[in-house]
Amino acid sequence: MEQRVIETLKILTESDKEACDLVKVSENEPVRGSGKRLFIESYGCQMNFSDSEIVASVMREAGFTTTSTEQDADLIFLNTCAIRDNAEQKVRNRLQHLNALKKKKPGMLIGVLGCMAERLKAKFLEEEKMVDIVTGPDAYRDLPRLVEEAETGQKGVNVFLSREETYADISPIRLNSNGITAFISIMRGCDNMCSFCVVPYTRGRERSRDPFSIVQEARDLFANGYREVTLLGQNVDSYKWTAPAGAESTLAAPVTFAQLLEKVALVSPDLRVRFSTSHPKDITDEVLYTMKKYDNICKYIHLPAQSGNSRVLQLMNRTYDRPWYLQKIDRIRAILGEDCGISHDMIAGFCTETEAEHQDTLSLMEYARYDYGYMFAYSERPGTPAAKKLVDDVPEAVKKRRLQEIIALQQKLSLERNQRAVGRVHKVLVESTSKRSDDDLQGRNDQNKVVVFPRENFQKGQYVHVLVTECTAATLIGKAVELEAVS
């Protein structure tokens, strides 16, 4: 059944390039069972998109099929993000719009899920009267009950945060899938207390999912034609799974992230393995050597820095300083070579950041020679340590200007890094038709760079060797150099 589902779901809306601003919408499925239809719209990070696939699975058991048209829905879920104020504003605006729809269709129910639901809890129901259900990220198994109650007119809230829930036994229904690349959630929550960040409050304590179900999910995906999995967690390098006491298990010692990575890499040499996010304090040489050992573990690391200045990093409670971060970059280059792709997250204008400290961020970026970056202006989040103890004193205009400088530098670095790729042959996993032309295909190389090339007779899911002949800061452009697929 899982196989059939995967085949019927395709890519849908991607309204924005920046990962944190993507909005994804559920796909149209043939109506079955009770005939009730669910529309899910997801905001925020990949963890949320991944959770929506769990939610679709839970709701299918309760007789709902997904739709891509909100007007057709009996039930609308917004899976929300709380990371910055503008992420929350977007959801508020969306709710206003849905309110108009609800007035025309009084039986329709609206549920708010995810991080903003967890942050605001029952307050949501007071602030946004059209909302019927509020559910936090650890309570999705309870959704069918909450929906049933709401159908009788009773509003429902479950924002219980769990220390154990990993949804390990739930087979996600792949939404917005290209059928080639998929995400596997390997842990939930976060135990780091970065002072700016709302995630520890919205997603609770860190917990790791058992390695057996992770490897099984990777195997199933491979059997269904998928050729790339990305292991997901807020801080994947602190993955640690210990067999429960008394359980019959062949694994006596705890499983580390490096060991998990190896297990997934061994599923098949034709299955690419990626992972995100790495915290600079936790990524070990063992992980770097495991990456080196397996060709199918992609040589690409997302290593958020947040700032290039030690004083600011300390205020952020990142638990590393500038020299530590630089030395991590050196280790990556020493073990995996110059070509290893590295990307970052950076925050401009954190509390009390001076002009000289901002310059440190720019010089750290030059040193790291990042391939890509996700860059943000600091947005104070209520309840976080920074909101309680520090003053958000960098004027908005200064934050924006510093952010622009960071973005401009990244553009330059991305272009330089892409230029290194020109004139070389890259192994590309084909994901889809190119966004610009039906005559071209697009996929990504090992370093996660998008490569576009003429379609010829190649198909998605194939590995193709492409000679890159030109580039922009965002894309490599080339031509296949072998007529046969590599595998």
Alpha-carbon distance of 82 to 47, in angstroms, equals 13
* Residue of 124, 132, 143, 66 lying closest to 102 (CA atoms): 132
Which of 5, 25, 40, 47: binder of ligand F3S (CB under 6 A)?
47
Least separation in angstroms between residue 164's CB and ligand SF4 is 19
42 in contact with ligand SF4 (CB under 6 A)? no
Alpha-carbon distance of 48 to 118, in angstroms, equals 13
286-289: Cβ within 8 A, 24+ apart:
286/256, 286/258, 287/237, 287/257, 287/258, 287/261, 288/331, 288/332, 288/335, 288/336, 289/258, 289/335
52 in contact with ligand SF4 (CB under 6 A)? no
The amino acid occupying position 66 is T
Alpha-carbon distance of 252 to 455, in angstroms, equals 49
44 binds, among ligand SF4, ligand F3S, ligand SAH, none (CB under 5 to 8 A by kind): ligand F3S
202 binds, among ligand SAH, ligand F3S, ligand SF4, none (CB under 5 to 8 A by kind): ligand F3S
Q: Exposed (0-12), middle (13-18) or buried (19+): which is 436, by Cβ within 10 Å?
A: exposed
83 in contact with ligand F3S (CB under 6 A)? yes
Q: Which tokens sit at 450?
A: 């998008």
Closest to ligand F3S by CB, 29 vs 51, is: 51
Closest to ligand SF4 by CB, 2 vs 321, is: 321
Which of 177, 202, 208, 447: binder of ligand F3S (CB under 6 A)?
202
82 binds, among ligand SF4, ligand SAH, ligand F3S, none (CB under 5 to 8 A by kind): ligand F3S
Q: Contact region for ligand SF4 (CB under 6 A) — 27-35, 38-46, 191-199, 287-295?
A: 191-199
Least separation in angstroms between residue 85's CB and ligand F3S is 12
Q: Which tokens sit at 410?
A: 């990244």
Least separation in angstroms between residue 454's CB and ligand F3S is 37
* Cβ pair 156, 132 in contact under 8 A: yes
Which of 58, 110, 194, 386: binder of ligand SF4 (CB under 6 A)?
194
344 in contact with ligand F3S (CB under 6 A)? no
Alpha-carbon distance of 324 to 341, in angstroms, equals 19
Residues lying near ligand SAH in the complex (CB under 6 A) are found at 83-84, 196-197, 199, 234-235, 277, 279, 304, 306, 345, 347, 376, 378-379, 381
200 in contact with ligand SF4 (CB under 6 A)? yes
Least separation in angstroms between residue 8's CB and ligand SAH is 32
Alpha-carbon distance of 152 to 379, in angstroms, equals 39
Angle at 122 between CA 120 and CA 124, to 5 degrees: 55
200 binds, among ligand SF4, ligand SAH, ligand F3S, none (CB under 5 to 8 A by kind): ligand SF4
User: Does 340 show up as a binding residue in the annotation?
Assistant: no
Place of tokens 């400290």: 357
* Residue of 4, 52, 10, 5 lying closest to 460 (CA atoms): 10
Catalog residues that contact ligand F3S under the rule CB under 6 A: 44-45, 47-48, 81-83, 114-115, 198-199, 202-203
Catalog residues that contact ligand SF4 under the rule CB under 6 A: 190, 192, 194, 197, 199-200, 234-235, 279
